[in-house]
Amino acid sequence: MTTNQQKEPIQSKIDFLNEAFIRNPHPIYAEVREKEPVSRFLLPSGHYAWIVTTYEDVAAVLNDSRFVTSHPVEEGVEQRKLPSHVEIISRNLSNVNASDHRRLRRLVQKAFTPRMVEELRGQIVELTNDLLDQVQAKGEMNLIQDFAFPLPIKVICEMLGVPVEDQDKFSDWSGAIMEGFNNPMLAERSEQALIAFIDYLQQLIAKRRSDLKQDLISDLIRVEEDGDMLSEHELYAMIFVLIIAGHETTVNLIGNGVLSLLEHPEQLEKLKNEPGLIHSAIEEILRYDGPVEVNNVRWATEDVELQGKQIRKGEMVFVALSSANRDGSHFTDPTTFDITRKVNDHLAFGKGIHFCMGAPLARLEGEIAISTLLRRMPALRLQTNRELLDWRHGIIIRGLKEIPLVF
């Protein structure tokens, strides 16, 4: 066993249980990029894993077919038996092997097209205004609960064709399932939500099969290539991954984005004076404090050497997108929040074969949400001291639990 393989505790500065790191991980990432860009860290589960922190290495790992998202099956090792509904949804786009991935992604991309996203524009504007109407007269709101959390799930429901009367249930299930991923104490509630969610999908899909409509569920049922179609279970898993991948991420694009703007009043003024800057502002928000701090795990399928470290076959590798996006060897003035930044090839949506499929939708939602908010509530400000804001725990998503605002 080599030294970097040791199982005994090692002192990594990257510590997802440390409050100071959770509040502001950027100075630590800067130090780690400098001193030990590929290092070991302790997962909240108690296991050690690799973490990769520079732009170049993060991009390289995401483009390297030796690192996969599905756990490599070891010969002779009995597979862990998952409850059937967990097994169904775990075989989704982001978790399957390369050839299944290629097939699923090709099929879903025939339905989930940029044109379909653009057609949602009017509905997103309407949903945004409806949510803001509910708080406008109060002069205050909790940005996350009142706006950023409900908006994306309503958009996904509209896109899929979930009837309005069922959308609150959908939102509750999505919240409960995500909480269970982030906090094992809530796993039981999360599992119940998952069972209810799959039962519901089964009925909704059956209804659509007998009466196809103009929505994404119907399109996913219709989609076909060379005689190949999505099976019933693949449909559940696909809908599940669209909700899970598209909900919390967009919540925190809006949350982190508004916070970054409020913390940089001169940038906020610039955007208010020149609303057309919203496109580059969204890219800068994604780079400066994007919602996905660390990407989904990768597994090494063979021994790989990276920055002088030996990553062994079967080991877990995480890439820190938030760190890559502030790497000074790639970005000029990486710690400056500049909504007019011209060259901004950030990695907030990942890279390679798993590059975010919902990026056009996320961008559109972020643009509409933030520009409408600033137009309707131009005096927007934080109701509390920034230092008192509570950040969410967990390694994947970076975002705040609440953002109290007055306007």
Contact residues toward ligand HEM (CB under 6 A) are 69, 93-94, 105, 156, 241-242, 245-246, 249-250, 253, 290-292, 295-296, 348-350, 354, 356-358, 361-362
Query: What are 356's two structure tokens?
Result: 């975010």
What is the nearest approach in angstroms of ligand HEM to the Cβ of residue 241? 5
Q: Which is nearer to ligand HEM, 36 or 311 (CB)?
A: 311
What is the nearest approach in angstroms of ligand HEM to the Cβ of residue 119? 14
Q: Which is nearer to ligand HEM, 93 or 395 (CB)?
A: 93
Give the full edge-to-edge strand order of the sheet including 48-52: 38-42, 48-52, 316-319, 298-300, 67-68
Spatial CA neighbour of 361 closest among 256, 277, 246? 246
Q: Which is nearer to ligand HEM, 177 or 407 (CB)?
A: 177
- Burial label for 192, CB within 10 Å (0-12, 13-18, 19+), is middle
Distance CA 147, CA 405 (A): 11
Q: Which is nearer to ligand HEM, 250 or 260 (CB)?
A: 250
Q: Which is nearer to ligand HEM, 132 or 241 (CB)?
A: 241
Distance CA 405, CA 99 (A): 47
What is the nearest approach in angstroms of ligand HEM to the Cβ of residue 316? 13
For residues 22 and 16, the answer to whether their CB atoms sit within 8 Å is: yes
Q: Which is nearer to ligand HEM, 36 or 120 (CB)?
A: 120
What is the nearest approach in angstroms of ligand HEM to the Cβ of residue 11? 28
Contacts of 258 (CB under 8 A, 6+ apart): 143, 148, 370, 373, 380, 403, 405
What is the nearest approach in angstroms of ligand HEM to the Cβ of residue 385? 27
Query: What are 393's two structure tokens?
Result: 């725990």
Torsion angle in degrees (nearest 10) through CA of 101, 104, 105, 108: -160
What is the nearest approach in angstroms of ligand HEM to the Cβ of residue 49? 15
What is the nearest approach in angstroms of ligand HEM to the Cβ of residue 77? 24
Q: Which is nearer to ligand HEM, 348 or 373 (CB)?
A: 348
Distance CA 287, CA 289 (A): 6
Closest-by-Cβ residue to ligand HEM is: 358
Q: Which is nearer to ligand HEM, 395 or 407 (CB)?
A: 395
Q: Which is nearer to ligand HEM, 128 or 295 (CB)?
A: 295
Other CB atoms closer than 10 Å to residue 63's CB: what's the count? 11
What is the nearest approach in angstroms of ligand HEM to the Cβ of residue 154? 12
Distance CA 254, CA 144 (A): 8
Q: Which is nearer to ligand HEM, 399 or 407 (CB)?
A: 399
Q: Which residues pair with 305 in a beta bridge?
A: 310
User: SS3 for 406?
Assistant: strand
DSSP H or E stretch at residue 111: helix 98-111
Q: Which residues pair with 68 in a beta bridge?
A: 299
Is beta strand 48-52 parallel, antiparallel or unpaired with respect to 316-319? parallel
What is the nearest approach in angstroms of ligand HEM to the Cβ of residue 359? 7
Q: Which is nearer to ligand HEM, 5 or 113 (CB)?
A: 113
Q: How far is CA 364 from CA 118, 133, 250, 276, in A?
A: 8, 20, 10, 13
What is the nearest approach in angstroms of ligand HEM to the Cβ of residue 75? 26
User: SS3 for 14?
Assistant: coil
Q: Assign residue 333 a region: left if phi > 0, alpha if psi is -120 to 50, beta otherwise? A: left
For residues 25 and 293, the answer to whether their CB atoms sit within 8 Å is: yes
What is the nearest approach in angstroms of ligand HEM to the Cβ of residue 214? 18
